[in-house]
């Protein structure tokens, strides 16, 4: 563990004035039953405790639930008068935990995801299945653009069934199984069959609609198929930075070997990771990163009568610079509104916690869903596969690609 890591944590927690403003926007505080340790201020306090104990050489207490349950939405940063980011505190603390190989503080599902991804280039070892959506489609191998799905839409159908299995087994047994898989990654094959087939077909359709929108806009692109790796989002988010550096170089080498110079991403997490994080860890990173909506050209359409509310993904509106292209396009094609909490005050859907803290994730998603529903909109439109799954209730939610494709002339 480097000294600079502790220094970064000290600089972040040292500015906290304990005002509690961050607790007014933290999306995990109320779903946790207002547990201090699963709110933004509690994470800063725990970060300070972690720092002091490490300086004194005291073994790290069991703090993982506080740091690992953080959604990294960064909403706290926008209300803090001292500029403290509890998400950064959580990120740095997870790095300290993983760097010191402190197994009692590691979340077993986090370690499972990291180890399986390192072995198979996919968190569930389903790279082949992740390419099945493209069956029958032709791509231009010599195109300057590469369509990079990052496997995100393809992985979502597994989360629902995996969480159902966890509830059936109970926490003790499910954590034991996750630890076993982490130690023996090949065992993931037992879980890789547990997908929601209906959701899978829906998400495959979304990817095909993205292809349709791009082609109608005159964009030609290649696709890696079964060679496409997961981008490593979980490895980075969970604090395994040394492993992420190595994995990011692997992903970069695969993208470079395609010959493409411009990468088209299809979800906010992959877009943010490749555009803003990869250049920090990959020397001489020279790929141009686009979100697919940057490239599409929608025909002039008459606005329909339905009212839609757009749920803004955290990685678009709670990051710098803010990315608002989805809202711009929706506003030009439909009567579009935002929830009361939007922009820099937007509330996370809870999706990033779905594998590690499913109960917390479900409660957070219900709160956000009710906020969106209260606008009186007929349809909830998202621009993120994680948000789409977590907010899919009462058949009111659509991915933006599906909504836009439905408006195209027959």
In order along its 410 residues, the chain shows pLDDT tens digits of 445 888 888 888 888 998 999 999 999 999 988 888 889 998 998 888 888 777 776 555 556 788 888 999 999 999 999 999 999 999 888 888 787 655 556 677 788 888 899 899 998 888 889 999 999 999 999 999 999 999 999 999 987 777 777 777 777 777 777 788 878 888 887 766 788 899 999 999 999 999 999 999 999 999 999 999 999 999 999 888 999 999 999 999 999 999 999 999 999 999 999 999 999 999 999 999 999 999 999 887 777 788 999 999 999 999 878 899 999 999 988 899 999 999 989 999 998 888 778 889 999 999 999 999 999 999 999 999 999 999 998 889 999 999 999 988 87
Residue 393 sits in a domain whose CATH number is 3.40.50
For residues 238 and 279, give the distance between their C-alpha atoms in angstroms, rounded to a whole number.
Answer: 19
- Take residue 401 and report the two structure tokens written for it: 């690609």
Of the residues 71, 91, 106, which one is the last residue of a structural domain?
106
Residues 177 and 273 in one domain: yes
Distance of CA 95 to the CA centre of its chain: 18
Number of domains in the chain: 3
Residues 10 and 99 in one domain: yes
Crossing angle for the helix pair 171-183 and 152-169, to the nearest 10 degrees: 130
Residues 259 and 133 in one domain: yes
For residues 148 and 174, give the distance between their C-alpha atoms in angstroms, rounded to a whole number.
Answer: 32
DSSP string, 200-213: HHHHHHHHHHHHHH
Residues 153 and 190 in one domain: yes
Give the pLDDT of residue 60: 53
DSSP string, 143-187: -SEEEE-TTHHHHHHHHHHHHHHHHHH-HHHHHHHHHHHHHSGGG
Give the pLDDT of residue 271: 97
The H-or-E segment that residue 221 falls in is strand 221-223
- Take residue 267 and report the two structure tokens written for it: 């979800």
Residues 327 and 241 in one domain: no
For residues 71 and 88, give the distance between their C-alpha atoms in angstroms, rounded to a whole number.
Answer: 11
Residues 143 and 95 in one domain: no
Residues 214 and 87 in one domain: no
| Domain assignment present for 353 | yes
| Domain assignment present for 356 | yes
Give the pLDDT of residue 61: 52
Q: What does the DSSP 8-state code read for residue 282? A: S
Residue 380 gets the label, from left (phi > 0), alpha (psi -120 to 50) or beta, of beta
Give the pLDDT of residue 103: 57
Of the residues 75, 91, 106, which one is the last residue of a structural domain?
106
| Domain assignment present for 302 | no
Query: Considering only CA atoms, which of 403, 4, 392, 400 is closest in space to residue 198?
Result: 392
- Take residue 203 and report the two structure tokens written for it: 């998400």
Crossing angle for the helix pair 40-56 and 86-99, to the nearest 10 degrees: 40
Asked if residues 335 and 377 have their Cβ atoms less than 8 Å apart, the reply is: no
| Domain assignment present for 73 | yes
Residues 283 and 156 in one domain: yes
For residues 399 and 119, give the distance between their C-alpha atoms in angstroms, rounded to a whole number.
Answer: 31
Residue 88 sits in a domain whose CATH number is 1.10.1060.10
Residues 139 and 274 in one domain: yes
Residues 125 and 61 in one domain: no
| Domain assignment present for 299 | no
Give the pLDDT of residue 1: 45
| Domain assignment present for 301 | no
Range of the structural domain that residue 48 is part of: 3-106
Asked if residues 351 and 365 have their Cβ atoms less than 8 Å apart, the reply is: yes
- Take residue 48 and report the two structure tokens written for it: 């300070």
Residues 55 and 174 in one domain: no
pTM: 0.90
| Domain assignment present for 224 | yes
For residues 213 and 302, give the distance between their C-alpha atoms in angstroms, rounded to a whole number.
Answer: 18
State how beta strands 379-382 and 288-291 pair: unpaired
Give the pLDDT of residue 384: 95
Residues 278 and 388 in one domain: no
Of the residues 106, 122, 140, which one is the last residue of a structural domain?
106
Residue labelled with tokens 């509890």 = 86
For residues 287 and 58, give the distance between their C-alpha atoms in angstroms, rounded to a whole number.
Answer: 44
């Amino acid at each position: 563990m480097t000294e600079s890591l502790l220094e970064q944590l000290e600089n972040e927690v040292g500015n906290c004035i304990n005002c509690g403003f961050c607790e007014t926007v933290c999306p995990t505080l109320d779903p946790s039953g207002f547990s201090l340790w699963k709110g933004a201020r509690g994470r800063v306090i725990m970060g300070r405790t972690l720092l002091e104990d490490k300086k004194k050489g005291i073994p790290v207490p069991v703090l993982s639930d506080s740091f690992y349950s953080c959604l990294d939405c960064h909403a706290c940063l926008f209300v803090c008068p001292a500029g403290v980011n509890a998400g950064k505190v959580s990120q740095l603390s997870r790095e300290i935990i993983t760097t010191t190989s402190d197994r009692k503080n590691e979340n077993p599902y986090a370690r499972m995801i990291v180890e399986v991804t390192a072995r198979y280039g996919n968190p569930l070892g389903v790279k082949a299945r992740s390419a099945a959506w493209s069956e029958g489609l032709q791509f231009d191998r010599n195109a300057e653009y590469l369509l990079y799905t990052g496997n995100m839409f393809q992985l979502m159908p597994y989360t629902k069934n995996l969480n159902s299995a966890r509830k059936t087994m109970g926490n003790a047994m499910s954590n034991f199984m996750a630890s076993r898989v982490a130690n023996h990654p090949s065992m993931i094959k037992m879980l890789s069959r547990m997908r929601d087939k209906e959701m899978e077909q829906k998400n495959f359709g979304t990817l095909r609609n993205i292809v349709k929108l791009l082609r109608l806009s005159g964009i030609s692109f290649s696709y890696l198929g079964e060679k496409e790796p997961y981008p490593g989002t979980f490895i980075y988010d969970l604090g395994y930075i040394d492993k992420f550096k190595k994995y990011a170089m692997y992903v970069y080498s695969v993208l470079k070997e395609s010959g493409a110079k411009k990468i088209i991403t299809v979800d906010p997490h992959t877009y943010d990771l490749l555009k803003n994080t990869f250049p920090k860890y990959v020397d001489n990173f020279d790929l141009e990163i686009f979100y697919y909506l940057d490239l599409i050209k929608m025909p002039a359409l008459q606005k329909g009568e339905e009212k839609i509310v757009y749920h803004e993904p955290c990685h678009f509106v709670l990051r710098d610079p803010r990315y608002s292209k989805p809202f711009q396009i929706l506003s030009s094609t439909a009567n579009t509104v935002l929830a009361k909490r939007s922009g820099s005050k937007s509330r996370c859907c809870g999706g990033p916690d779905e594998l590690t803290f499913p109960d917390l994730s479900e409660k957070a998603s219900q709160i956000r869903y009710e906020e969106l529903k209260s606008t009186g909109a007929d349809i909830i439109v998202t621009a993120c596969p994680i948000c789409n799954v977590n907010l899919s209730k009462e058949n009111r939610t659509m991915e933006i690609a599906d909504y836009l494709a439905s408006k195209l002339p027959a």
